[in-house]
Structure formats: C-alpha cells, structure tokens
Amino acid sequence: MNKIAQYLNEHILGEATSSKSIRQKFSRDGSILNITPEIIVHPRITNDIRKVARFTWQLAEKGHVMPITARGGGSNQTGAAIGKGIIINTAAHLNNILYLNLRNKDQFIHVQPGTSFEVANEVLKSHGLIIPSFPNSSNYSTIGGSIANNVGGTISGRPGLTGDSVIRLEVVLANGDLIESKRINRHELDKKKGLQTFEGEIYRKIDGLIEDNAQLISDEISTNSPDNSVHSGIAKVKQHDGSFDLTPLFVGSQGTLGIISEIILKPDFYNNEASTIVAAFDSNESAFDTAKLLTSLKPASLQIIDGRIFSKAQSDYGKKFLFPDTTSAVLLISFNDFGDRARNRKFKHALKKLSKLKIKVFTNKDHTDDEINAISSVSALILQPDTDNESMPPLINGASIPVDQREGFVIALGELADKHHVELLFHIGWLNGVINARPLLQLHSVSDKQKVFKLISDYAELVSKFGGSLNADSGEGRTKATATYNHLSESLADLYTQIRTTFDPYGTLNPGVKQKSDLKTLVADLNPDYNLADFAKYSPEE
C-alpha cells in the first residue's frame, strides 16, 4: 500500500486506498477527461476531511503539493470531480440526512454532502416539500456536488439553482480548519475579522478585496442572471447593509475554495398532482413564440426539445412517440398549483391558446404520466450511441440565453454545427434559460479530438455574442475554463486569482479546475472511450 494511504489510515476513521482498480474507477467523472488519482479517501466523519486537508497543507508548506479533490456522485460534466493526488469520496459514508425541521416557516433539511438528491427529495416529498431546483441527474448526483457546482437543470422547472436554497454551509478550509458560512451583520463581521486564525485572515482579505474592487464587481459581474464563472459569487458576499456571507463564494466553487462537509437547505412546497401538456410544432419559431405566451401562466415547468432528438430516437432506436418524426420542436408545459381550481384554470387557458394553432396536442388527462415522462426524458436514450467509438459528450451543456435571443441563438447554433460538421441537438429549460446541446463525436479520431476544444471555444463566443452565460448551470471545471477566461477582462481575472489565493495559498484545492489550462495537457487527458457506463443503471440524462 502507498505509504501516504497507510499513514492516513492510521489517523482517520474512514478508509484510504491506493488500489489500482479503485483509482481507475475514480479517474472518470461525467466529463470527457480521465485523470488517475494517487489515493482515494472515504471519510466517515468531518474530522477525517480535516485531517486530510491538514496533512496536505503541511506537505505544501514543505514544498510538496498533494492536490485534494472533493467528489460526490461523480456526475460532473466538466472534469471537476477528478484530479491527481487525493480524492475525497463523500458518497461512501457522508450520505445521511442529519435533521429535518418541519415547524412552521422555519422548515429546513440538514444533510451531509454525499446525500443523494433522490433520497433527500423522497423524504421531503412525503411531507409535501422538495428541494426546488435540481440537476437532470438528480437520481444519482449528490447534494454536496450539486451545490459545489450550483446546478439547476432543464427539467427541474424552477427558474433558479441549487445554491439558491442554501441557508448555511459547514466547510473545511485548505488548512483543515472548520468554519460555518452564513449571513452575518456588521458587528459579527468585525469579530470575524479580528480572529487571529486562517478564518479571520480570509474575512479580512475578502472584505478588503470587495472594497478595493467595488466598481469592477459592479461593472463586470451580473447578479441578475445565473453565472457560475470562476468566483463570480463575490458580487453577493457583501450587501448594502454591511451584512456579509461567504456562502455565495463556496456555492459553485467546485471545491477550489474549501470542502463542503454539511449543508442546511430550505425546501419549497411540492404538489404531486400535475397537469401536463405536450405540443408538437412544425417550426422552432412557432414553438418559441408559444413558449413566450405560455410563460405568463406561471407554469411549474416549461421545456422545448429539438424535434431531431425524437427523429433520432425513432430511426436509430425504434422508439415510438405520440407525434410524427417530422416534428421540428416539442413543447412540454406542466402546472402543479396546490389548488385544483387554479391548476385547472391554467391548464384550460394553455389549451385554449394552443387550440388556436394547427398543432398536435396531448395531455396527461388522455395519456399516462409514464407516456409523458418518456417524452421529457427522451435524451436518455440517445446519449450513449450503440455504434462503436461514437459518443455524445457534454462539452457545451449549461449555458443560458436571454429569452428574446433564444430563437436567433438556435439558428446560429445550427450554423456552428455545420462549421464543425456535427449535429447539435438542443433541449431548453425555458423558465431558467438553460440550454443543453451535445455533439456526436468519434473521440478515437484525431480530427474529432482536435475539434473538441475548438468547438467549446467557438460556442463560448456564440453565447457571449447573444448576451448569455456559458456557465449558468454549473461551473466551468477544466473543460470550459480556458474558454471562460478568454472572455474575462485582465482586472477581473486578477481579482479571481486573488480570491482563490486567499482561500488556497498553496494550491492544494482542486488545482486545474476554474483555471486556464494548457491545451496540450487537456488533450492528453481526453478519454477516447468516454461513455456513461458508470451511470447506466440510472438511465442517465443530461
């Protein structure tokens, strides 16, 4: 056994292993990259994480950097859940619901980071509650990972991100110290800044950076649209009343500022009764215009799916749907208001609007929920092609585009696809603007390997041109980091570097993530055998 793994086993309650087969298992996540770690640690308690962090900090003080990467379900699509050095696997033991408070307006759920969305939401649903925004991979992704990436998802319906539900976090810092992040007032901030500890140093430096860069933050970081680029959460740390909260920095930081060890979330009300409509359109323009009209009804979910996805599912896989394979776009709208009267009123209004169009319309009043769900999750079928050496990697998922620019963006997306000789089939979560589009590639081909990062770069240019955010639904990780930095001003990039250095002065926390990377290194880390086999039992989606 590796000497470091043996040393860690002597000091933690959990397990550390350097087994080759296990290291290979953890060399992959949901991205196209493959990086083999040296050691896997399965912590049993928070103190195990603290001891590992303290150990790597002491090594770094002596000039030996041993990276730490926190990992949940491993579904991250940007290469942020893999890395050299030590992988902290929170899903093995730190997967418990610690407390559920159902009293009045103070409802919250207290969980460990490895708790899966599926488990947490099943418990909450039994009490009429839910974590409102969740990733499409919610049946196998963890809450800690989802907060570290600040994901939403095209199918969650709610126009927000997982981080919006966070009340407070417990975080292990790079040196092993443990802190709790929540909003504090001016007096409490002064106390924090007076601490002669690493925590105190962080509060002093971050407050100073905010004061020194107030105009830059105001001018270049938007707080009105979702953006997980680098450390954009800095814009939400300090409010006009002087209150202060480090939580927005940890949310979406992908483990580069600290390791989340406990989470308190505020759930929202949930109604299992839903009225759903499916409409098939002959043109994208009609589908988009209709979506704009239906938004005023305040639905629970509104999605537009590229008709070519259904055509591919029918021609290549033999699937049958309720509409013809010549459909250009499919719109799904769902209402789940608690009052039957309100829900039915919205449902009837939507049908009335749709009846004026010459389109095919189906509802869950006439068809089973399973038939409707099969339409919503159609992408699950085509994400892993049957043809050898072909794959549909998530290179450019998670951008968001303003509502008035989406139609033009989809047209431009087609032109980008033609330029790179790929198909880019889109799936839009209309309420939060999240757009997913996956290319069909042969990663064993030299030409397609070369195409990967050029496609990401060109896509980033396109998103910027249409006033969107490349990293609206999750951070940039490794795969989109360089493209993200190419659109930052020098001043903003410098501010982000100072923020990271404040939390991680020795560079031990997930190095290479949210940092500009050498293209040759990224290409060398490409996994030509990319597939979804690790998530196959879940019928993985976007």
pLDDT value at position 30? Answer: 93
pLDDT value at position 152? Answer: 82
pLDDT in tens, 36-56: 999 999 999 999 999 999 999
Range 1-21 average pLDDT: 95
pLDDT value at position 158? Answer: 61
| 371 pLDDT above the threshold of 90 | no
| 272 pLDDT above the threshold of 90 | no
Number of CB atoms found within 10 A of residue 166's CB: 23
Q: Does CATH place domain 3-93 in 3.40.1000.10?
A: no
What are phi and psi for residue 152, nearest 5 degrees?
A: -125, -90
The structure tokens 């209004």 sit at 349
pLDDT in tens, 298-315: 998 999 999 999 999 998
pLDDT value at position 377? Answer: 85
| 459 pLDDT above the threshold of 90 | yes
pLDDT value at position 224? Answer: 75
- How sure is the predictor about 157, in pLDDT bands with cuts at 50, 70 and 90? low
pLDDT value at position 353? Answer: 95
524: region left, alpha or beta (phi > 0 left; psi from -120 to 50 alpha): alpha
Range 112-117 average pLDDT: 95
pLDDT value at position 195? Answer: 97
pLDDT value at position 103? Answer: 85
| 296 pLDDT above the threshold of 60 | yes
pLDDT value at position 154? Answer: 62
CA distance 334 to 431: 12
Where do the structural domains in the chain lie, given as residue ranges?
A: 3-93, 275-301+331-382
Q: Out of 290-299, 361-370, 412-421, 495-504, which region has the weakest mean confidence (pLDDT)? A: 361-370
- How sure is the predictor about 247, in pLDDT bands with cuts at 50, 70 and 90? very high
pLDDT value at position 389? Answer: 82
- How sure is the predictor about 270, in pLDDT bands with cuts at 50, 70 and 90? confident
- How sure is the predictor about 208, in pLDDT bands with cuts at 50, 70 and 90? very high
Mapping DSSP to helix (H, G, I), strand (E, B) and coil, where does residue 28 land? strand
Report which DSSP code applies to 102: -
CA distance 295 to 350: 10
Average pLDDT, whole number, for the chain? 93
Rounded percentage of the chain residues whose pLDDT exceeds 70 = 98
- How sure is the predictor about 271, in pLDDT bands with cuts at 50, 70 and 90? confident
Rounded percentage of the chain residues whose pLDDT exceeds 90 = 78
pLDDT value at position 310? Answer: 92
pLDDT value at position 62? Answer: 96
| 532 pLDDT above the threshold of 90 | no
pLDDT in tens, 469-479: 999 999 999 99
pLDDT in tens, 471-519: 999 999 999 999 999 999 999 999 999 999 999 999 999 999 999 988 8
| 223 pLDDT above the threshold of 90 | no
pLDDT value at position 409? Answer: 97
pLDDT value at position 380? Answer: 82
Higher pLDDT, 152 or 367: 367
pLDDT value at position 229? Answer: 95
CA distance 250 to 263: 12
- How sure is the predictor about 189, in pLDDT bands with cuts at 50, 70 and 90? very high
Residue 198: CA atoms inside 13 Å, Cβ hemisphere, count? 18
Higher pLDDT, 541 or 470: 470
CA distance 247 to 39: 29
Range 281-295 average pLDDT: 96
pLDDT in tens, 316-340: 888 888 887 789 999 999 998 888 8
pLDDT value at position 243? Answer: 97
The CA–CA distances, whole Å, from 522 to 192, 255, 260, 386 equal: 40, 19, 27, 26
Dihedral, CA of residue 141, residue 144, residue 148 and residue 149, to nearest 10: 20
